[in-house]
A and B are shown apart, each in its own frame.
Chain A
Amino acid sequence: MYLTNKEEAILNGEQGEVMGRLFRLLTRLGEIYNADKMIPVGSVQVAGVSYKSIGDPGLAFLEDIAKQHVKVKVLTFLNPAGMDLEHWKELGFPKDFAENQLRIMDAFKDMGIVVTSTCTPYLAGNLPRFREHIAWSESSAVSFSNSVIGARTNREGGPSALAAAICGLTPNYGLHLWENRQPTMKITVDANLSYAADFGALGYYVGKQVKNKIPYFTGIPDVNTDFLKALGAAMAASGAVALYHIEGLTPEADLVENKNLETIHVSQQDLDETYETLNQGKDPDIIIFGCPHASLREIATLAEQVQGKQLKKPVWICTSRLMKEASDRMGFTEIIEDAGGKIVADTCMVVSPIEQMGYKTTAVNSGKAANYLPGFCKQEVVYNNMHKLIKEALA
Chain B
Amino acid sequence: MVGTKCETCGRHFFPPRTFCPDCRRAGKIVEHQFTGSGTVVTFTVIHTAAEAYSMLTPYVLAIVKLDEGPQITTQIVCDPTKAKIGMKVKSVFRKIVTDGESGIIHYGTKFVPVE
Tell me, yes or no, whether A binds B.
no
